[in-house]
């Protein structure tokens, strides 16, 4: 364990640690462009040079390993002069695009110039002209004039995405980043090159010119796109929304979690957020007077007693076996717990399932993308959202509903038309006394449902998901639900009250406390323990 001194502070680190890492452990920031902790070391930008006693030349902190007794200075006049020189070279041909550049406000050239630059410019003459703002793939634009050749994007494609799509072409002052001839940047992780580009050379076509970054606010969450549960930041703007589309959420960014997704996320999850503010969002409860009439708007105070009355009548006349419930692995652990508590434990409904077959082809790989496109399948299994005794699975449930043996079918979020076909769902709607759809967005099931209950999306409620590894992770309430939509747990609590099952939960955290006390794998867990990085259930025994 070598000991060294950095700017007067002593630290002991593992052998092989670089000066950069040692300085970070002390809270000392050394500027860098080409270095990224998730990529190989290139050592090309030279901005991270520091002074090491006993060395005549400055050393790059990103690739110089510490030695016992080393004394490092990161802020001497010699170091400052070198940084000013590097910045002057980088900016000598950089275009004056700041007023129109999407990276303005989070550009490392701007930030480092204000801290380490502030030199008197000696540049005279014309800057070099290169290709500007052209698409290199479905999600990314390239501006070659802004590029500082840090090579982060090239290394990401080769080392993380495993593709040969980007490269550095030509030599010296003619070098440029570009796609290989006949190729595009179209790998399933291409959006990450925008995240790691320290300047405005690579910009996101989806976010381009939508909002200045200083208007954005951030909240931590979990990607609901598959069972990996990538940790993300939700970037949103409630003060100046994008009026043309009414978007509050403007982009998702990966959030570092070494046990789940490291620094990365896939494009499917990154660009799969638009349902949050989509035009098909369900904004208020609706109910049909009969099967042929269009749904009419209602209040929660009107619709839930009617749903409860039909459920109660069915229980009295046909018994709990005449009710079927299709929960969803898009629900949080807390909401799945309430579904089980209400329907299976309180009402004794045997037909409870969450598994609806996927008919579309799904992609998966051995990195982040899973074939299971739900964030909480593991949680649903552990909590036990499965048929009890002689209960029906989802396909059997629909079959029995189609012949009138199941009289009330309660569906959470699933598009049954996509899974079973239009005719079969229409037959179910005609045969049952009540088809309830509870979800955030309209789909094939909502089109045939007798009752529609609008629920909140994952950024509009609090709770936890359990990913395929058994890691319990938190989602935060970042935005208020649109319209009259409520979190699913709130709808369930109101419905339970209408059915004389009285709960007094004031938050999802209180529900989680009951969940942890009743479901053994969750024993001992609290929101505080889960924190931002999550906790694996199997570590809890």
Supply the mean pLDDT for the chain.
93
- Beta bridge pairs of residue 451: 287, 436
How many CB atoms neighbour CB 29 within 10 A? Answer: 11
Name the residue with tokens 């717990």: 337
What pLDDT sits at residue 246?
A: 72
Please say whether the beta carbons of 424 and 445 come within 8 A: no
Q: What is the pLDDT of residues 3-49, one digit of tens each?
A: 999 999 999 999 999 999 999 999 999 999 999 999 999 999 999 99
Statement: residue 540 has pLDDT above 90: no
- Beta bridge pairs of residue 27: none
Domains located in the chain, CATH noted: 3-75 (3.10.20.740), 98-103+119-277 (3.30.70.20), 286-504 (3.40.50.740)
Q: How far is CA 402 from CA 259, 267, 434, 438, in A?
A: 45, 39, 12, 20
- Per-residue pLDDT averaged across 439-468, rounded? 96
Q: How far is CA 32 from CA 29, 199, 496, in A?
A: 9, 12, 56
What pLDDT sits at residue 104?
A: 92
Q: At what angle are helices 300-317 and 488-498 packed, to 10 degrees?
A: 60
Greater model confidence, 292 or 352: 352
What pLDDT sits at residue 242?
A: 45
Three-state secondary structure call for residue 338: helix
- Per-residue pLDDT averaged across 146-172, rounded? 95
Please say whether the beta carbons of 219 and 149 come within 8 A: no
Statement: residue 422 has pLDDT above 50: yes
pLDDT band per the 50, 70, 90 thresholds, residue 244: very low
Statement: residue 240 has pLDDT above 60: no
Provide Rg for the chain, Cα atoms: 28
- Per-residue pLDDT averaged across 136-141, rounded? 96
Please say whether the beta carbons of 476 and 221 come within 8 A: yes
- Beta bridge pairs of residue 235: 218, 251
- Per-residue pLDDT averaged across 201-229, rounded? 94
- Kindly state the tokens that stand for 24: 């970070």
Distance CA 142, CA 163 (A): 18
How many CB atoms neighbour CB 222 within 10 A? Answer: 29
For 495, the enclosing helix (H) or strand (E) is: helix 488-498
Distance CA 258, CA 380 (A): 25
What pLDDT sits at residue 238?
A: 76
Statement: residue 241 has pLDDT above 70: no
pLDDT band per the 50, 70, 90 thresholds, residue 539: low
| DSSP track, 469-490 | TSEEEEE---SPPSTT-B-HHH
- Per-residue pLDDT averaged across 156-180, rounded? 94
**b/e 373-396 (16+ beta carbons within 10 angstroms → b):** bbbbbbbbebbebbbbeebbbbee
Please say whether the beta carbons of 467 and 225 come within 8 A: no
Distance CA 439, CA 90 (A): 51
Is the C-alpha dihedral spanning 400, 406, 412, 413 positive or negative?
Answer: positive
pLDDT band per the 50, 70, 90 thresholds, residue 390: confident
- Kindly state the tokens that stand for 220: 């931590």
């Amino acid at each position: 364990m070598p000991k060294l001194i950095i700017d007067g502070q002593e630290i002991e680190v593992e052998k092989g640690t670089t000066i950069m890492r040692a300085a970070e452990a002390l809270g000392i920031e050394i500027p860098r462009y080409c270095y990224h902790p998730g990529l190989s070391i290139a050592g090309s930008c030279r901005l991270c040079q520091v002074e090491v006693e006993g060395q005549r030349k400055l050393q790059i902190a990103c690739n110089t390993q510490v030695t016992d007794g080393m004394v490092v200075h990161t802020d001497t006049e010699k170091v400052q002069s070198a940084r000013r020189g590097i910045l002057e070279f980088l900016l000598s041909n950089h275009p004056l695009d700041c007023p129109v550049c999407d990276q303005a406000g989070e550009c490392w050239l701007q930030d480092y110039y204000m801290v380490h630059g502030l030199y008197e410019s000696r540049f005279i003459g014309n800057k070099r002209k290169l290709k500007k703002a052209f698409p290199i793939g479905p999600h990314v634009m390239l501006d070659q004039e802004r590029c500082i050749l840090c090579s982060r994007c090239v290394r990401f494609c080769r080392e993380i995405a495993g593709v040969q799509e980007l490269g550095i072409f030509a030599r010296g002052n003619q070098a440029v980043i570009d796609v290989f001839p006949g190729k595009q940047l179209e790998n399933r992780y291409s959006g990450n090159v925008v995240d790691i580009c320290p300047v405005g050379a690579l910009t996101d076509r989806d976010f381009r010119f939508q909002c200045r970054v200083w208007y954005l606010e951030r909240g931590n969450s979990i990607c609901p796109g598959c069972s990996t549960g990538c940790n993300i930041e939700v970037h949103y703007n409630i003060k100046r929304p994008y009026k043309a589309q009414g978007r509050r959420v403007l982009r998702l960014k990966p959030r570092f979690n070494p046990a789940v997704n490291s620094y990365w996320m896939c494009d499917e999850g990154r660009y799969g957020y638009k349902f949050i503010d989509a035009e098909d969002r369900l904004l208020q409860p609706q109910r049909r007077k009969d099967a042929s009439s269009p749904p009419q708007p209602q209040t929660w105070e009107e619709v839930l007693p009617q749903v409860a009355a039909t459920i109660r009548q069915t229980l009295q006349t046909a018994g709990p076996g005449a009710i079927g419930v299709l929960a969803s692995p898009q629900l949080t652990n807390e909401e799945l717990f309430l579904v089980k508590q209400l329907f299976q434990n309180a009402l004794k409904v045997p037909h409870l399932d969450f598994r609806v077959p996927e008919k579309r082809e799904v992609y998966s790989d051995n990195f982040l993308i899973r074939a299971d496109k739900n964030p909480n399948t593991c949680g649903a299994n552990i909590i036990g959202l499965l048929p009890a005794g002689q209960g029906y699975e989802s396909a059997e449930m629909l079959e029995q509903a189609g012949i009138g043996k199941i009289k009330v079918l309660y569906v959470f979020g699933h598009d049954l038309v996509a899974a079973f076909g239009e005719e079969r769902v229409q037959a179910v709607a005609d045969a049952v006394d009540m088809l309830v759809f509870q979800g955030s967005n309209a789909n094939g099931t909502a089109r045939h449902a007798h009752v529609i209950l609008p629920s909140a999306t994952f950024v509009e409620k609090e709770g936890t998901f359990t990913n395929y590894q058994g890691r319990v992770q938190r989602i935060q309430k970042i935005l208020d639900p649109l319209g009259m939509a409520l979190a699913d747990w709130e709808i369930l609590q109101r419905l339970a009250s209408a059915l004389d099952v009285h709960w007094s939960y004031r938050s999802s955290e209180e529900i989680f406390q009951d969940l942890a006390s009743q479901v053994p794998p969750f024993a001992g867990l609290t929101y505080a323990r889960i924190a931002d990085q999550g906790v694996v259930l199997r570590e809890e025994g």
